[in-house]
Amino acid sequence: MGGTLNEFHLYLNSVNLNIKLSLDFSSTSINFLDLKIYVDTEGALHTTIYRKPTDRNTILRADSFHPANLISNIPYGQFQRLRRICDSDNDFEVQSTDMYERFKQRGYKDKTLNRALTKTKSTERANLFKPKPKKPVSNRTFCSLQYSNQTNKIKQIIKSNWDILLSDTALAPVFAEPPQFAVKRAPTLKDKLVRNYISAPKPKTFLTKPTGTFQCGACRHCPHINKSTTFMNATGTKSFHCKQFANCNSTHVIYCLDCKCGCFYIGLTKRRLRDRFGEHKYAIKNYPIAKHFQSSSHCNPTELKVMVIEVIQKDIRDGDRLRTLAQRESFWIDTLEAVNFPGLNEELGFSVFL
């Protein structure tokens, strides 16, 4: 039997290399999850609770910040679980004594434990396997509260003043009975503490993402993409390098429009780059770049080029992405001196920093 079981165990572990099952058995017993099945001296099968040697006492502490009725019901639920698993009274006595001590270590009172244990012993084990009858659907209003040390006081205030609603002829039929109260979990330290968003450095491989602006290959504006990875300021004294990947479909970008005569314009868009570029190319509004082409006989709008100089990523802490986008546009207008010829930006605003 042991050989067949071991073969079956090896087969299960060979099905999926990412899942490994352990096997713990002897000639008289076998363990499965929290259940131990064993054979007594007379050959009869029995079940009892099983705990791993590394098992720790993880029962919710009695002084934990939870509703009192929840704390008081946990022992009863656990003793019921023991009664279902342990099919003999001797096993139940041994395991319930151990469970009793575990609850004591977590701060539970003897009165609460004795009441739960007595109630469990008075229940026939067979009845614990029967499904509970469904309660009829209630038409009472639900009042959901976030649990706090004021929850019970709020309940009492609502109940004591319920007659005010009943005195209203319009509300009385709707709120004929006091509400059923439901308590939801209050924020925990896990909810409030800030996560560490500093990621580990990624190893460089030959598959690293390129930098610069690239064609998407699926729009009519691809031929207008400036594939250069560097750009200059208005005086040509400083050069800058593109540090991110972008293409025609990139959003929330700072871009640079280049005319073949050397003039350039710095802009921003939260939409796709190709959508914004299409507006510039066929501008009907009084954009600075449009005025340039209207006044320059040697410039052809079909030769206009566009490149992304910065992509504003979504803030991992949910900051104002659009505000950051506007601030970075002002930064680049100032850094590239785009308000001075050959720059075509008309003004530099600092209101986005206020």
* Predicted confidence (pLDDT) per residue in 252-268, tens digit: 999 998 888 888 899 99
For the chain, the average pLDDT equals 85
User: Is the whole model's pTM more than 0.75, yes or no?
Assistant: no
**pLDDT value of position 271:** 92
Highest mean pLDDT among 93-107, 211-225, 299-313: 93-107
Per-residue pLDDT tens for 228-238?
899 988 888 89
Question: Per-residue pLDDT averaged across 303-326, rounded?
Answer: 86
Q: What band does 196 get if pLDDT is binned at 50, 70 and 90?
A: low
CB 278 within 8 A of CB 287: no
Q: Is the pLDDT of residue 247 over 60?
A: yes
Give the residue, 337 or 22, on which the prediction is more confident: 337
Calculate mean pLDDT across residues 133-151: 84
- Tell me the percentage of the chain whose pLDDT exceeds 70: 89
Residue range 50-63: average pLDDT? 89
Cα separation, 202 vs 138, in Å, equals 56
Other Cβ atoms closer than 10 A to 258: 19
**Res. 351 pLDDT band, cuts 50 70 90:** confident
